[in-house]
Structure formats: C-alpha cells, structure tokens
Amino acid sequence: MSTVDHPLVTATGLAKRFGDFEAVRGIDVEVNRGEAFGFLGPNGAGKSSTMRMVAAVSPRTGGDLRVFGLDPDVDGPRIRARLGVCPQQDTLDNELTVRQNLQVYGRYFGLSRARVRERATELLEFAQLTDRADDQVEPLSGGMKRRLTIARSLVNEPDLLLLDEPTTGLDPQARHLLWDRLFRLKQSGVTLIITTHYMDEAEQLCDRLVVMDQGRIAAEGSPAELIGRYSTREVLELRFVPGGQEAVLPDVVDLAERVEVLPDRLLLYTEDGEGALAAAHNRGVRPISSLVRRSSLEDVFLRLTGRSLVD
C-alpha cells in the first residue's frame, strides 16, 4: 500500500471563541505523519483549546481544520476512531477497576470483548499497573491515574496520539519511562502531538514545536532551530539574594546581548559566558553563585512570552 506523504493535521487560521473571549486567534499548523509535534505556552495560551478541536470534540469557530484529511465538523466519529486522547484532566471512571476502565473504553471503539481483554493486559503492563489491575481506581495515586489515562488512550492503537500535559503529576522515574514508551510508539509510526510545561520533555520528544501565547503562535521550529533563532549560545546565570539583582543590573547590562531579570537571578545572554563572568567580577559584581550553561528552550520561552514556563 502506498502512503502519500501529507500532513495528518492541517490547521489554517484556526480559531476558537468562548463567548466574547478568543482563546485561539487564527493559528496555522501542519503536523506530518510520524512526527512528534509540541505545543508550548504559558497557562491560558490556548493549547488545550487547540487540542480539543483537533480531537474532534470541540467545534472550531473560525478557520479551517483537517485531521486525517477529514473535517471534524463532518467526520468527527471517523476521526475519533483513529485518535488516542489523553486529556489534561483525567476522565476515568473512579468506581470501576483499573482493568475495567481499559476494557469498557476499548468497547466504545468497536473492539470485540476478546480483543479488549487482550489489549487491557498489554496496556496494564505498559502502564506498570498489572499488580493493581483489579483494584478500584478511586484510591490510586494521581500519578497512577495519569498512567492509566495514557494507557487508555492507546486502547485502539491510534494513528495519532494527542497528549495534553501527559506527565504532569508523574514522578521523575515514571516520566522517563513514559518518554521511552512514547519514543517507541513514534518509531512504530504513531504521530504524536504533545503539550507540556516541561522544557526537557519538549527537547527530548519533539521534532518540531510551536510556542503559543495568548492564542497565537509566537514561533515555530525544531528545538535546536528555536534556540539558535531566539537565544544566544551560552547563558550566564548570576544568583543574588532576592532584590539584590536589581542593584547590579547597570553594571552588567552591557556585558551581554540581552539580560533577563528574574526574582532571584540575572540571566545574561552571550556567546561567551566565561568571558562575561570574568568581566562582571572585574567590575566588582559579587553574586552568591554563578553558572555558565548552554541555552535551552526555557530561554526561548522566556524571550518569547516574557514568562518562565514552570510557575
């Protein structure tokens, strides 16, 4: 069978209004088959609203949208049949067991009883919940519920997986495990769309991402491209007692291409961090501690939205 290489998701001028409020203000996005695509943005940027439109559960109020080449307004059920969705808030049935949640959900996709039993066993393993399989969901920890939600989204072996802040509430080990699983899914041909507040997650998982702010796309590219375009090679971090950073600002402002003032730190964006640190020292600047590091997506984010990601 031949597959034409075409975008799985195409949005042009896509908009979402809630009453008078414009949550998404005309965005253009293309997600290609087999790609891992990220939405970054501060709280309220419109990431979840966009995800819900792509998931064919929330009708758009403007622009155009195609998922698998289909219009969600017309072919919602056909689109949803091929999607896996992990919503920002869990929608598990707390009064059923872990296994029942997987089985009941699989049935909604038209899978046979035998198939959902099989699939539940596989997914329990995937989510490392096998030993809790026949426990009720209610008393599970937040992270376990999250893992179950993610497992449930895979019940129909989706072509496109939508993950809205999948790792929020997971401990570091569970997060790394999930990254590994998502990476493998991607290698097996699943297309991923992810929203996250974790920069390391975005850098690890996403081939391409957009930074959203106030319903618009502020920048688009691969993590490396974005860092190259919006930040310098290195960053010098100078830490002060809170408030102290304002006083030294005039002494260092000309040492870098750009300076960000955070509550307890100054970030000096420069090609040569060590050089800037030496120069600051010569001028008598005495921070509590200093650190030279490479630029990350966090810096891109700060530059584009004026806010740090993890509040």
Partner 1 sequence: MTGPTTTIRSTGTVVGSWRATWLVIEGLWTWYRRSWRATVVSSVLQPVLMLLALGFGFGSQVQPGDATGGLRYVAYLAPALLVSGAIQNAGGESTYPVLSAFKWQKTYWGVVATPISPGQLLSGQLLWIALRLLGSGAVYLAIAALFGAVTGPGVLLSLLFAVLAGMAFCAPVVAFSASRDDDGQGFAGLFRFVVMPMTLFAGTFFPISQLPAWVRPLAWLTPVWHGNELARGAAFGTLRPLATLGHVGYLVALLVAGALLACRLFRRRLAV
Ligand X SMILES: Nc1ncnc2c1ncn2[C@@H]1O[C@H](COP(=O)(O)OP(=O)(O)OP(=O)(O)O)[C@@H](O)[C@H]1O
Q: Are strands 36-40 and 191-195 parallel, antiparallel or unpaired?
A: parallel
DSSP strand E in the chain: where? 7-18, 21-32, 36-40, 62-67, 83-86, 160-164, 191-195, 208-213, 216-221, 234-239, 258-261, 265-270, 289-294
Q: Does 156 bind partner 1 (CB under 8 A)?
A: yes
User: H helices of 94-209, where?
Assistant: 98-108, 113-126, 142-152, 172-187, 199-205
Contact with partner 1 (CB under 8 A) among 32, 34, 81, 292: 81
CB of 192 to Mg ion, least distance (A): 17
CB of 57 to partner 1, least distance (A): 6
Pick 39 or 68: Cβ nearer Mg ion: 39
Task: State the residue for tokens 């426990």.
Answer: 135
Minimum distance from CB of 7 to partner 1 (Å)?
8
CA distance 17 to 290: 45
Is 79:34 a contact under the CB 8 Å cutoff? no
**Site mask for partner 1 (CB under 8 A), range 168-207, x = bound:** ---------------------x------------------
φ/ψ of residue 7, rounded to 5: -65, 140
Question: Hey, which residues between 39 and 68 contact ligand X (CB under 6 A)?
Answer: 41, 43-49
Closest distance to ligand X from the beta carbon of 217 (Å): 12
Nearer residue to ligand X within complex by CB, 16 or 80: 16
Sole residue written with tokens 């008598």? 284
CB of 117 to partner 1, least distance (A): 13
CA 161 to CA 66: how far, in whole Å?
A: 15
Label the pairing between strands 265-270 and 258-261.
antiparallel
**Distance from C-alpha of 224 to C-alpha of 235, rounded to nearest angstrom:** 15
Binding mask 4-23 for ligand X (x = CB under 6 A): --------------x--x-x
Nearest CB to ligand X, comparing residues 57 and 292: 57
Number of H helices, E strands in the chain: 11, 13
Residue with tokens 């042009």: 12
Residue 113 near residue 148, CB atoms below 8 Å: no
Task: Say how far apart CA 305 and CA 197 lie, in whole Å.
Answer: 13
Closest CA to 81 of 45, 118, 108: 108
Residue 83: closest CA among 101, 56, 105:
56
Q: Does 17 contact partner 1 by CB under 8 A?
A: no
80 lies in the site for partner 1, by CB under 8 A: yes
Binding-site size, partner 1 (CB under 8 A): 49
Q: Which does 230 bind (CB under 5 to 8 A by kind): partner 1, ligand X, Mg ion, none?
A: none
Q: Which of 88, 97, 136, 204 binds ligand X (CB under 6 A)?
A: 88
**At its nearest, how many Å lie between ligand X and the CB of residue 309?**
9
What is the total residue count of the chain? Answer: 311
* Among positions 20, 74, 77, 250, the unique one binding partner 1 when judged by CB under 8 A: 77
Residue 40 vs 304, nearer CB to Mg ion: 40
In angstroms, give the least distance from the CB of 138 to ligand X.
24
Residues that bind partner 1 (CB under 8 A): 1-4, 6, 8, 18, 33, 55, 57-59, 66, 68-70, 76-78, 80-83, 85, 87, 89-97, 100, 103-105, 107-111, 115, 156-159, 189
Q: Which residues bind ligand X (CB under 6 A)?
A: 18, 21, 23, 41, 43-49, 88
